[in-house]
Structure 1
Amino acid sequence: MYRILIVDDEKLERNGIKFLLKKTGTELEVFEASNGRDALELLKHQKVEILLTDIKMPYVSGLELAEKVSSQYPEMKIMMFSGYSDFSYAQTAIRYGVSDYILKPVDPFEFQKTMKKLLEEIEREKAEEVQLIKTQDYLYQFFLQNYLYGGKVDIEEMKRNLDFQQYHYMVLIQTSSSFFEMEEEIFKEKLKEEIRRDFFYLNLNAGEGLFFFKEKHSDYELLCREIYQFFKLRYNTECLLAVSEELKSFEELPAVFAALEKVLEDQFYQPEEHIFSLKESEDRETNTALGDAELLKRILEDIHHQDMAHLKNHFEQLKIVYHPEKAYSEMYVKFLFSSIIKEIYEAMDLPDEKRLSREIDRLYRARRLQDVWKLTEKAMEELEEYLAEEEKGTRSEVTQVKNYIYQNYQEELSVDILAEKVYLSPGYLSYIFKQETGMNLNRFIKAFRMDKAKELLENSQKKISQIAREVGFSNNSYFCRSFREYFGVTPESCRKGTAEYEKMGTEI
Structure 2
Amino acid sequence: MIRILIVDDQREEREGIAYLLEKYKYPVETVQASNGAEASRYIRSHEVDILFTDIKMPIMNGLDLAKEVNEYDPQIKIIIFSAYGEFEYAKQALVANAVSYLLKPIEIDEFRQLMDDVIDSINKRKVLYEKKQQDDMQNRKNLLYKVLTSGRVEEKEEERLCEILFPKENTIYGFLDIEFMGNYFERQEDEFLHFVKMYLGDQAKYIGIYPNKAFLILPYVNRKSLEEQLKKLLRDIKTQTGDECLILISSQVTEIHDLIEQLKRMNEIHMEVLGYGDQIIAVADYYNRTEYYAADVEIASKQLVTAIESKNPDLVREQNKKFISCICSLEKVSRLYIQNLLYSIVKAVYDIVPGTVYEKVLILAEALFQENDLKTMLKEYERIIEFMMDSLENEKVDESRIVQNIKNLVEKEYMKDISLNYVADKVNLAPAYVSYIFKKETNQTLVKFITDVKMQKAKQLLEEGNLKIVQIGRACGYGNQSYFNRLFKNYYGVTPKQYREKV
Common fold by TM > 0.5: no
Name whichever structure is richer in helix by fraction: 2
TM (norm. structure 1) is 0.38
Q: Which has the higher contact order (CA 8 A, sep 6+)?
A: 1
Q: Larger Rg: 1 or 2?
A: 2
TM (norm. structure 2) is 0.39
